[in-house]
Structure 1
Amino acid sequence: MELTLQTPSLLFPAVSLLLLAYTNRFLGLASLVRSLEGSYRQSHEGKLLEQIHNLKRRLRLIRNMQLAGVLSLFCCTVTMFLLFFNRTGAAEVVFSAALILMMVSLGISAEEIRVSVRALDVHLTDLGEKRDAGGGS
């Protein structure tokens, strides 16, 4: 396979969109953490503290997937720089690193989604138990 300047540039739109999605997830979670923290300070309810800990874990995951995505984009840029100066061997190594970092970012994203869904399942189970205890149908 021949690595040209166009090859790493193909990842730029994908990485940019992923980073935008990751940032939106981060901002949403950060807002939720602030809100839950205020609620916890007023009520000291244990469930809120558990939710805050879960959200902190998800924020760390999002930070790590953003970092891997940014490093992937950086490696793509370095690849283009190396190709520009006819350093094909080094460019292939750096581009391989970019692809691996992109896979790492996507893998962490899948884990963050899994943690998020598990937290929602617990929340929905709690709501179902409250409804059943209240005599609902």
Structure 2
Amino acid sequence: MNHLTLTTPALLFSAISLILLAYTNRFLSYANLVRTLHDHYMKNPDELLRGQISNLRKRLYLIRAMQVLGVGSLLLCVLCMFLIYVSWVGTAEIVFGTALLMLIASLGASIHEIQISVHALELHLSDMQ
């Protein structure tokens, strides 16, 4: 069996960093939208706005989970590199496998969040048909 080298977990750094950047951009746009909708709701309470805010709340929780899993994956990649450095290769392989599973979970949550976002946009556009 081939053992991990320091470069194996390091290869994920750029991918995870780009994913986290995309998650952060999504979070910031949702945060601005929540603030705008909240202001509109406070001036003129409306069930449609309440529903949109509720939908955004779900999406924000998903983005938080995506970010936590992504950062956890990156952290475990760094830990894996340290374990390889100190020659604890068996433990490093387990840690790296866990990092990959966390990244998979993060991407899965991202797919779920995208589905919710598309559904919300479909509802928003439904009054035009």
TM-score, length of structure 2 as denominator length:
0.98
Q: Distance in 2 between matches of 1:90 and 1:15?
A: 22
Alpha-carbon deviations, 1:54-106, whole Å to 9, x = none?
A: 00100000000000000000000000000000000000000000000000000
Question: RMSD over aligned Cα, in angstroms?
Answer: 0.6
SS in 1 for 2:3: coil
| Runs of at least 5 residues in structure 1 that lack an aligned partner in the other structure | 129-137
Identical pairs, percent: 52
Q: Distance in 2 between matches of 1:126 and 1:60?
A: 27
Give the drift of 1:14: 0.2
Aligned to 2:91: 90
Quick check: 2:3–2:89 contact (8 Å CA) kept in 1? no
Q: Distance in 2 between matches of 1:23 and 1:16?
A: 10
Aligned to 1:134: none
Number of residue pairs the alignment of both structures matches: 128
Structure index of larger Rg? 1
Give the drift of 1:43: 1.1
TM-score, length of structure 1 as denominator length:
0.92
Q: After TM superposition, which residue ranges in structure 1, 4 or more long, deviate above 2 angstroms? A: none
| Runs of at least 5 residues in structure 2 that lack an aligned partner in the other structure | none
Aligned to 1:8: 9
Q: Distance in 2 between matches of 1:29 and 1:122?
A: 17
Is 1:59 equivalent to 2:63 in the alignment? Answer: no
Aligned to 2:101: 100
